[in-house]
Amino acid sequence: MSPLLLLPLTPRFIALTLAILSTVGFAIALALDQQSILLATGFSVALFLTIVGTIDLFQTSHSVLRNYPILAHFRFIFEGIRPELRQYFFEGDKDGMPFSRDRRAVAYQRAKMALDVRPFGTHYDVYSDGYEWMAHSIAPRPVAKESFRIMIGDADCTQPYSMSVFNISAMSFGSLSANAIRALNGGAKKGGFAHDTGEGGYSPHHRENGGDIIWELGSGYFGARHPDGTFSPEKFAEVAADPQVKMIELKLSQGAKPGHGGVLPAPKVSREISLTRGVPMGEDCISPASHSAFTTPISASRCARASTSCTTPWSASARAGASSWVSPARSSPAASSRNPATPAAARPASPPRTRPDSARWSCRTRSSGSPTSTARPCTSWLK
């Protein structure tokens, strides 16, 4: 028998073949008994599947639909519900990224003002390679009383800032909604910590609740730029004089887009974003790969000193892939003629991670292939 005659019976086309045969069978049965609702329903379903399979067979957009008429739709259905299947049936309490189910549950409970404590014990594999834990000291001391704040700015700084060690990291207006910006800044106001604007600019929504602001400037100079995209010292000084702006972060390079810069497509440039960033509506908003106002960290420091009208500490951050660095905060030369009302033009250097109770805890990591552990400096401290 010719292979072409057997083709409708192959697994690829069997669903379409059965749909066609069912349509013909139900049509004949319905002609004999036109009052049967069951036969009419079966005919309608079979006819619908036949039409879908025929369209799949002759369309040219999806090869999987062409090769597996009707059946391929189940693939797209399962792909659509895959996140729900994984979350509710297969995902462990510790597996979710970027936040596990356990951590999300705590966030939900706190948002509802419900009980948010967790019992002692763990579901983690404490014998796995890389597992970290804290061992109690044999000579504990009382918990330290000092606040978790660090003063940014030395004697030459006219407006130093007492900064919390826990703050809101850079997330731009545009990537976050207006309501999200208001909520984050309101939280910063209540908690007494700083809110980093991200390189998307210092928007009106950042100003509403009065939380401390770290104004981030990237290569696009949003909020401090000329119409051609170059840096504007006058606009920079105007925004920097806002008393809510406590520090200024100068981002030297793109972390998420190293070497390429970034683009906000024209349809996403709303009127609010246009006014906040100082870019025209209807055009792509470009974050260049490099700065136009300077080329080296040394020239960046000169640019920062020349643009700010006060004696302030300054620092810069660079991001490339997974690594980042922040330069030590440095103060510019004293200048008595500068305006003391202008805030510190800096992003503070990463403060040294001091151990609040150095004799109380040590941080340990399980080494591969070894049942013992080795002490090392902790990158974070939990009490």
pLDDT score recorded for residue 316? 59
Other Cβ atoms less than 10 A from the Cβ of 25: the count is 14
Tell me which amino acid residue 190 is.
K
Token pair listed for 285: 């908003």
Q: What pLDDT sits at residue 92?
A: 81
Give the model confidence (pLDDT) of 342-368 as tens digits: 444 444 444 444 443 333 333 333 444
Name, in order, each residue with C-beta under 8 angstroms of 373's C-beta and a sequence gap of 6 or more: 135, 364, 365, 366, 367
pLDDT value for 380:
31
For position 53, what pLDDT does the model report?
94
Spell out the domains of the chain, with CATH numbers in brackets: 3-80 (no CATH), 149-331 (3.20.20.70)
Q: Is the dihedral of CA 60, 63, 69, 75 positive or negative?
A: negative
Separation CA 54–CA 324 (nearest Å): 55
Tokens 């036969």 -> residue: 39
Q: Tell me how far apart the alpha carbons of residues 28 and 34 are, in angstroms, rounded to a whole number.
A: 10
Euclidean distance between CA atoms 260 and 253, whole angstroms: 10
Residue 255: CB atoms within 10 A of its CB come to 15
- Stretches where the chain sits below pLDDT 50 are 310-313, 320-383
Q: Which residues contact 365 (CB under 8 A, 6 or more apart)?
A: 130, 131, 132, 373, 374, 376
What the block records as the tokens of 314 is: 């300054």
Would you state the structure tokens that stand for residue 33, as one six-digit string?
């008994």
39 in Cβ contact with 29 (< 8 Å): yes
pTM of the model: 0.57
Residue 312 Rama label (left phi>0; alpha psi -120 to 50; beta): beta
